[in-house]
Amino acid sequence: MSPRKKPAGSPPPADLFAIEALHHRVDGRVVLDVPQLRLRTGDVTGLIGPNGSGKSTMVRFIARQALPDTGRILFDGCKIAEFKGRDLARRLAYLPQTPPTTDGMTTRELVGLGRYPWHGALGRPGPADRAAIDRAIALTETGDFANRPVDHLSGGERQRVWLAMLIAQEARCLVLDEPTSALDVAHQAAMLHLVRRLSHELGLSVIIVLHDINMAARICDRLVALRGGRIVADGPADAIMQSETLQAIYGIPMGILRQPETGAPIGYVA
């Protein structure tokens, strides 16, 4: 197994992402206007905001699914537009909001596709590839249905399989676009805790779009809130979970409760 822990003591080389003067319009309407944003390596960063705030557009730019009209996006210190396709995929793994149907593929086959950036169209999958697949399946606890078609699994199981594919990709950075939007509360919590745990165990950076502010506050080191294409709040969860801040983000009066056991903040609509 390759070393996955963060090298202790040595500081992270640079910002994971450095975004400058990002500006994007669709049909003449400004959907994203971000003068500056830096994301740190190793953080679990949550992108939050109301519908139409630009968070999905933002995450698509971060994963280079699309390029903005203007602006500079540096990933690992290099311009993201200049990465070769497979080279970027070895460093950054992306889960779209609605994962596609999988055409009868089994879990193991789908997870195996995560190795494509490493062996390419023609290369023969070697022991390292098989080891990565086994490890990803073990980490996400998807071994029980490794040989079953993904389309036949439940929603929660399927999301775990997709996460396993991302893990098998062995990228240091995961970009997840609302990975819990189709799941019930229990499976949302399980999925997000899995993401959190993997991030810590493997030292991964995670950028995650979330709808539920309370879930986001629980698992993210840092929250970046967008509204109307602009960043309106940015900071650790505790700093964001204030009633004035939440009101600025969502545009309705909101209050904060404390969870009885842990004292963790919970936002509610006042």
Binding-site ranges for other proteins (CB under 8 A): 63-65, 84-90, 93-96, 99-105, 109, 113-114, 116-117, 120-122, 149, 151-152, 169
Q: Which is nearer to other proteins, 141 or 151 (CB)?
A: 151
Q: Which is nearer to other proteins, 105 or 248 (CB)?
A: 105
Across the chain, the runs of DSSP E, i.e. the strands, are 17-26, 29-39, 44-48, 70-75, 78-79, 92-95, 173-177, 205-209, 222-227, 230-235, 254-258, 265-269
Least distance between other proteins and beta carbon 64 (Å) = 8
* d(C-alpha 233, C-alpha 42), whole Å: 20
Sign of CA dihedral 182, 184, 188, 190: negative
What single-letter DSSP state applies at residue 145? G
Q: Which two tokens stand for residue 258?
A: 């404390």
Least distance between other proteins and beta carbon 99 (Å) = 7
Q: Which is nearer to other proteins, 28 or 100 (CB)?
A: 100
Q: Which is nearer to other proteins, 91 or 227 (CB)?
A: 91
Place of tokens 């993997």: 198
Least distance between other proteins and beta carbon 167 (Å) = 13
Least distance between other proteins and beta carbon 63 (Å) = 6
